[in-house]
Amino acid sequence: MASQSQSQTQSIASPKLSGYQTDGFFDELVDEKTVARPDAELLIDRINKLPAEELLRRQKAIERALYQMGITFTVYSDAAGTEKIMPFDIVPRIVSTMLWHHIEAGLKQRIKALNLFLGDIYNEQQIVKDGVIPSDLIESASTFLPQCVGLKPPRNVWCHVTGTDLVRDNTGAVYVLEDNLRCPSGVSYVLQNRHVMKKNFPQVFSASRVRPVRDYPARLYQMLRGMAREDINDPTVAVLTPGVFNSAYYEHSYLAQQMGVELVEGRDLVVEKDVVYMRTTDGLQRVDVLYRRVDDIFLDPEVFRPDSMLGVKGLMSAYRAGNVALANAPGTGIADDKVVYAFVPDMIRYYLNEEAILANVPTYVCSRAEDRKYVLAHLDELVVKAANESGGYGILIGPHATQKERAEFAEKISENPRNFVAQPTLQLSRMPTLADGKMEGRHVDLRPYILCNSEDDVWVMPGGLTRVALRKGSLVVNSSQGGGSKDTWVVADPGQSVAIDELS
């Protein structure tokens, strides 16, 4: 009887997800026998008790809510219509306390090193002089902006807002897939995902001790205010958007509304005597801080692209004079370069004298003759990426590509090896996802968002955007390529604040 009782207790404590198969992949919520991982037990038990049609009903209710809230993104290449509702999946990701500590420490370390690299590369370039990074790699990068040489942002912070893409392999190890330091997007989906999700599993959400995310806009606003000149007591902050046709315009307007600041376009601003003003019905009003969601090269037609209609003439002069603060600082795109990415572990050793807490995905740099030779001989095994593409574009997934596609990429690599890197095809972790009315495994990644006030004041949002490849077997999670998103629940430590108040 004791044995039977123990078995029943174990079964109740660790339910199996009914009718689900991991297919040999590492799964975020269940183990290889589909038994719930410790922090997912309540969620799996709840899913098991809900009929498939009820899950589907809740999924459709969420989709309607997202549609009514206007949570959209733009796909420029979609002939059927550019405006899309961000697909959402009802099963949340759960991140354990221990795993989150590891991720958080690794991201803080990485941001610290990247800020030091940016300050160095646009000034002394000591890392180049010491032979850690080849000079031609920097000089040949389209994202290295000579116009930013000599810049020294306040507190030496270049990347105030960062979105770092993480993946887990078949062992559960966490890797950094890429850094996004120019205009990282997606945080509005994190906040809205939580808004719609908390109503669908309220009891499980409350009992799971989930850390809150809704203070992100307040933290962002306080960070932006703190960037203003010290002699300005009540700084004016604004969000600079390229306009309604930008793919992330919804997010720009949402964040401006949440922070209670103006949303402006370049045509709304004017620079006079190195001071930035916005046009209002009451005349010109000074702007002290711009959270810019406009790419570097479009910021100022007098300094960067002269044909830019999105920026503001004289903005860089005002920035150099210290009369306006910009987040992120211009020039950060060099750290987004996927070739430069390969050297981040070297940066961490060089600047911090530490080993990277979060490893890079092993990367072949095609500008190296030996790496290029290997890549060209193993295109059927590798993922090849263009150095400065994003959104899932400019990628060849070798095992899934045709012979013709591999041949085309081989030609591109041979013509311009500096523009390509290659990585092994990781078996990305998966998660239960509602597909055609039943639970199936789909590949996921995670983009946490990091706010940096100073070298020693870095905050990582406890959660992030879990992106999911909704197409069966696909490794591409980008929304522009058929991907969707999930809510991300980070489990709180004892004593930490929890998101119970978000149920209101």
Residue 74: predicted pLDDT: 59
**Rounded Cα gap, residues 252 and 169, in angstroms:** 33
Residue 504: predicted pLDDT: 46
**Mean pLDDT in residue range 453-458:** 94
Residue 335: predicted pLDDT: 95
Confidence tier at 82 by pLDDT (50, 70, 90) = low
3-class SS at 88?
strand
**Rounded Cα gap, residues 8 and 35, in angstroms:** 14
Q: Which residues are 490's β-sheet partners?
A: 95
Confidence tier at 283 by pLDDT (50, 70, 90) = very high
Structure tokens at 492: 């709180």
Whose structure tokens read 């992330």?
248
**Is the pLDDT score of 355 beyond 60?**
yes
* C-alpha dist (Å) from residue 456 to 109, 227, 281: 10, 15, 41
**Mean pLDDT in residue range 351-356:** 98
**Is the pLDDT score of 142 beyond 60?**
yes
* C-alpha dist (Å) from residue 311 to 14, 230, 252, 293: 56, 26, 16, 11
**Is the pLDDT score of 451 beyond 70?**
yes
Q: Which of 77-86, 123-132, 295-304, 440-449 has the lowest mean pLDDT?
A: 77-86
Residue 347: predicted pLDDT: 98
Pick from 347, 390, 386, 383: nearest CA to 112: 347
pLDDT digit string, tens, across residues 205-216: 999 999 999 999
**Is the pLDDT score of 106 beyond 90?**
yes
Do 237 and 222 contact (CB within 8 A), yes or no?
Answer: no
Please give the share of the chain, as a percent, with pLDDT higher than 70: 93
Q: CA angle, 488 as apex, 388 and 484 as ends, to 5°?
A: 55
Q: Which residues are 291's β-sheet partners?
A: 239, 327
Q: Which residues are 325's β-sheet partners?
A: 289
Pick from 429, 485, 472: nearest CA to 37: 429
Do 255 and 221 contact (CB within 8 A), yes or no?
Answer: no
Name the phi and psi angles at 341, rounded to 5: -50, -40
Pick from 292, 302, 280, 356: nearest CA to 330: 292
**Rounded Cα gap, residues 113 and 176, in angstroms:** 14
**Rounded Cα gap, residues 439 and 43, in angstroms:** 14
DSSP 36-54: BPGGGHHHHHHHHHS-HHH
**Mean pLDDT in residue range 229-252:** 94
Residue 70: predicted pLDDT: 75
Residue 384: predicted pLDDT: 96
**Mean pLDDT in residue range 442-466:** 96
Cβ count near 373 (within 10 Å): 12
**How many Cα atoms within 13 Å fall on the side-chain side of residue 420?**
26
Question: Is the pTM here over 0.85, yes or no?
Answer: yes
pLDDT digit string, tens, across residues 292-326: 999 999 999 999 999 999 999 999 999 999 999 99
